[in-house]
């Protein structure tokens, strides 16, 4: 019989809400003269950008530190996705103000999406800030810091159509030494009506596939065993020699286009022992070619993060998502057909979007149930200045209603996660070990192909190795088993 362990407590959900995600730089001691403390908020893209920032500044005489009190330079790499994300940063700046009073020479910079959204306004609103740099301006940081050193304030929020930081090899700040993130594109051209990202990150552009494969190969040689390819909409990845390198093309006869399926294949071929993941897929753009490529390579993980946002077609249309409920369900059916029932599926959901009624909310609940998500990131709608929704629609669902609906979808997801995990009991799964379990050093922790956390007694194995685990029990967030 299926065994369910409810109160074993080494177990946390596979991931946390984007809201609560904060990353702090690690200690680096290469004898540099100044110390950079960098705190990152928001999505994986931002965490990945902080690694680019650290790399750029390393060359300029900065080591990173995890202790803000030791820092000469404090950077907050910020997120604007919801109002709460910006409030968190403003509170943090108030705290840092206290530090600056004791250490007036401390340089305080705001990077990322909030910097891009507010630009020079940030300098007026937050007096403590010396430097403001948007996501495409990081190469300019040494110059901007120089300006601050001269006693001026410094701002660069120029958005580029080309910048991909392709040649910069990121300093891995938050790595377990096993998994790493690789940015494959920047920006977003989708204009979902609720979303601030197209305004803060600019136009979509893809990175040269050779530099992506090069980075993956280098990581593999350094002992990494998993890469996650990152983009706001990975399915629209497209690299064309014609558009991107006219000079090189003169020597070539044909235009070669690399799409996302081709890129996945290129990265998968780096080594069969390198796992490949990716995020985020878009329901309107994910192709059968991508699904067949995932099926073809054992090392491309069977897990797709496919945000639905809502289960109701009228709301989806207002959100400008470019698909209906039926289209979404048909894509999920195709995923199940090509990749099988065990393929991990997760989503993002927004409750209480403008004019959403109870029936439409129930459509979201029923979509979740029909799909049977393994996991979801769930939010209530937060109006963002300047977005299409802020201009066109009234944010008219009362906060209590948004929160109650959020609560209902969270409860639904907990139920679904548990029932999906129960289906794994009795199966033998290949797990990549990421380290010891956070709650018990006798246990190792890793992930299966579907991205679920698996915990098992660690006998003579270490991180970075693959093991086969027989799943014997579970909670809603974790599978528990033994090596076979």
The answer to whether the beta carbons of residues 474 and 421 sit under 8 Å apart is: yes
Q: Closest residue (Cβ) to ligand SAH?
A: 348
Report the sign of the C-alpha dihedral through residues 215, 217, 219, 225, in that order.
Answer: positive
Which long-range contacts does 157-163 make (Cβ < 8 Å, 24+ apart)? 157/115, 157/116, 157/119, 157/132, 157/133, 158/134, 159/116, 159/134, 159/135, 159/187, 159/201, 159/202, 159/203, 160/136, 160/202, 160/205, 161/202, 161/203, 161/205, 162/205, 163/136, 163/139, 163/205
Q: Which is nearer to ligand SF4, 42 or 481 (CB)?
A: 42
Q: Which is nearer to ligand SAH, 177 or 322 (CB)?
A: 322
Pick from 38, 81, 89, 397: which binds ligand SAH (CB under 6 A)?
81
d(CA 33, CA 199): 36
The answer to whether the beta carbons of residues 88 and 122 sit under 8 Å apart is: no
Please report how close the Cβ of residue 225 comes to ligand SF4 at its closest, in angstroms: 28
Q: Which is nearer to ligand SAH, 281 or 448 (CB)?
A: 281
User: Can residue 195 be called a binding residue for ligand SAH (CB under 6 A)?
Assistant: yes
Answer with the entry of ligand SF4, ligand F3S, ligand SAH, none that 198 interacts with (C-beta below 5 to 8 A by kind): ligand SF4
How many Cβ atoms from other residues are within 10 Å of residue 59's Cβ? 10
Answer with the entry of ligand F3S, ligand SF4, ligand SAH, none that 447 interacts with (C-beta below 5 to 8 A by kind): none
What pairing do the DSSP bridges indicate for beta strands 73-78 and 34-41?
A: parallel
Answer with the entry of ligand SAH, ligand SF4, ligand F3S, none that 113 interacts with (C-beta below 5 to 8 A by kind): ligand F3S
Please report how close the Cβ of residue 380 comes to ligand SF4 at its closest, in angstroms: 15
Q: Which is nearer to ligand F3S, 198 or 209 (CB)?
A: 198
- Alpha-carbon Rg for the chain, nearest whole angstrom, is 23
What pairing do the DSSP bridges indicate for beta strands 154-156 and 131-133?
A: parallel
Q: Which two tokens stand for residue 357?
A: 């009624």
Please report how close the Cβ of residue 45 comes to ligand F3S at its closest, in angstroms: 5
Pick the stretch among 32-40, 191-199, 206-214, 420-428 that binds ligand SAH (CB under 6 A): 191-199
Closest CA to 449 of 218, 307, 277: 277
Q: Considering CB under 6 A, how many residues would be counted as binding ligand SAH?
A: 18
One symbol per residue from 37 to 76: x for binding ligand SAH (CB under 6 A), - otherwise; what is it? ----------------------------------------
Please report how close the Cβ of residue 128 comes to ligand SAH at its closest, in angstroms: 27
User: Can residue 409 be called a binding residue for ligand SAH (CB under 6 A)?
Assistant: no
Answer with the entry of ligand F3S, ligand SF4, ligand SAH, none that 200 interacts with (C-beta below 5 to 8 A by kind): ligand F3S
d(CA 378, CA 360): 16
Please report how close the Cβ of residue 305 comes to ligand SAH at its closest, in angstroms: 8
Closest CA to 409 of 382, 450, 380: 380
Residues from 91 through 120 that contact ligand SAH (CB under 6 A): none
Pick from 384, 405, 420, 452: which binds ligand SAH (CB under 6 A)?
384
Residues contributing to the site for ligand F3S (CB under 6 A):
42-43, 45-46, 79-81, 112-113, 196-197, 200-201
Please report how close the Cβ of residue 176 comes to ligand F3S at its closest, in angstroms: 22
Q: Which is nearer to ligand F3S, 351 or 475 (CB)?
A: 351
Answer with the entry of ligand F3S, ligand SF4, ligand SAH, none that 361 interacts with (C-beta below 5 to 8 A by kind): none
Q: Which is nearer to ligand F3S, 61 or 385 (CB)?
A: 385
SS3 call for 360: helix
Alpha carbon 86 to its chain's center: 18
Q: Exposed, middle or buried by CB within 10 Å (0-12, 13-18, 19+), for 276?
A: buried
Pick from 82, 186, 207, 402: which binds ligand SAH (CB under 6 A)?
82
One symbol per residue from 242 to 281: x for binding ligand SAH (CB under 6 A), - otherwise; what is it? --------------------------------------x-
DSSP calls for 362-428: HHHHHHHHHHT-SEEEEEE----TTSHHHHHS---S-HHHHHHHHHHHHHHHHHHHHHHHHTTTT-E
Q: Which two tokens stand for residue 254?
A: 């044909």
Please report how close the Cβ of residue 388 comes to ligand F3S at its closest, in angstroms: 16
Q: Which is nearer to ligand SAH, 249 or 388 (CB)?
A: 388
Scanning 119-196, the segments in alpha helix (DSSP H) are 121-125, 141-149
Residues contributing to the site for ligand SF4 (CB under 6 A):
188, 190-192, 195, 197-198, 232-233, 282
Task: Using CB under 6 A, list all residues that contact ligand SAH.
Answer: 18, 81-82, 194-195, 197, 232-233, 280, 282, 307, 309, 348, 350, 379, 381-382, 384
């Amino acid at each position: 019989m299926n065994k369910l362990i409810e109160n074993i407590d080494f177990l946390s959900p596979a991931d946390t809400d984007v809201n609560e995600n904060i990353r702090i730089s690690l200690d680096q001691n290469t004898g540099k003269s100044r110390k950079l403390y960098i705190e990152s908020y928001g999505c994986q893209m931002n965490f990945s950008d902080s690694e680019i920032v650290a790399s750029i500044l390393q060359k300029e005489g900065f080591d990173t530190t995890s202790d803000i009190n030791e820092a000469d330079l404090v950077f907050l790499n910020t997120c604007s996705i919801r109002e709460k994300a910006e409030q968190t940063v403003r509170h943090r700046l108030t705290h840092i103000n206290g530090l600056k009073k004791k250490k007036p020479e401390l340089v305080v910079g705001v990077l990322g999406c909030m910097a891009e959204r507010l630009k020079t306004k940030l300098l007026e609103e937050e007096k403590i800030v010396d430097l403001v740099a948007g996501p495409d301006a990081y190469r300019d940081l040494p110059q901007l810091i120089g300006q601050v050193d001269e006693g001026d304030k410094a701002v660069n929020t120029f958005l580029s159509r080309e910048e991909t930081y392709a040649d910069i090899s990121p300093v891995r700040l938050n790595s377990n030494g096993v998994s790493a993130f690789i940015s494959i594109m920047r920006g977003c051209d989708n204009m979902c009506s609720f979303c601030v990202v197209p305004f803060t990150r600019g136009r979509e552009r893809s990175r040269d596939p050779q530099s992506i494969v090069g980075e993956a190969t280098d990581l593999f040689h350094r002992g990494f065993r998993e890469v996650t390819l990152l983009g706001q909409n990975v399915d629209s990845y497209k690299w064309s020699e014609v558009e991107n390198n006219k000079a090189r093309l003169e020597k070539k006869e044909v235009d070669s286009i690399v799409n996302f399926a081709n890129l996945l294949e290129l990265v998968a071929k780096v080594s069969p022992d390198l796992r490949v993941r990716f995020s985020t897929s878009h329901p309107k753009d994910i192709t059968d070619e991508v699904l067949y490529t995932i099926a073809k390579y054992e090392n491309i993980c069977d897990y797709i993060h496919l945000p639905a946002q809502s289960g109701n077609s009228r709301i989806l249309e207002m959100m400008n998502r470019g698909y209906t409920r039926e289209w979404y369900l048909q894509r999920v059916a195709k995923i199940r057909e090509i990749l099988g029932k065990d393929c991990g599926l997760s989503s993002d959901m927004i409750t209480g979007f403008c004019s959403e009624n109870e029936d439409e909310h129930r459509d979201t609940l029923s979509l979740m149930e029909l799909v049977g998500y393994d996991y979801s990131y769930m939010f209530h709608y937060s109006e963002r200045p300047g977005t299409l929704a802020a201009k066109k629609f009234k944010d008219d669902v009362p906060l209590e209603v948004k929160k109650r609906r959020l609560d209902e979808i969270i409860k639904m997801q907990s139920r679904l996660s548990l029932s999906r995990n129960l289906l794994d009991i009795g199966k033998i799964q290949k797990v990549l070990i990421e380290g010891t379990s956070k709650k018990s050093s006798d246990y190792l922790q890793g992930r299966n192909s579907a991205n679920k956390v698996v915990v098992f007694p660690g006998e003579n194995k270490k991180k970075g190795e693959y093991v086969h685990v027989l799943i014997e029990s579970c909670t809603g967030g974790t599978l528990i088993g033994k090596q076979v």
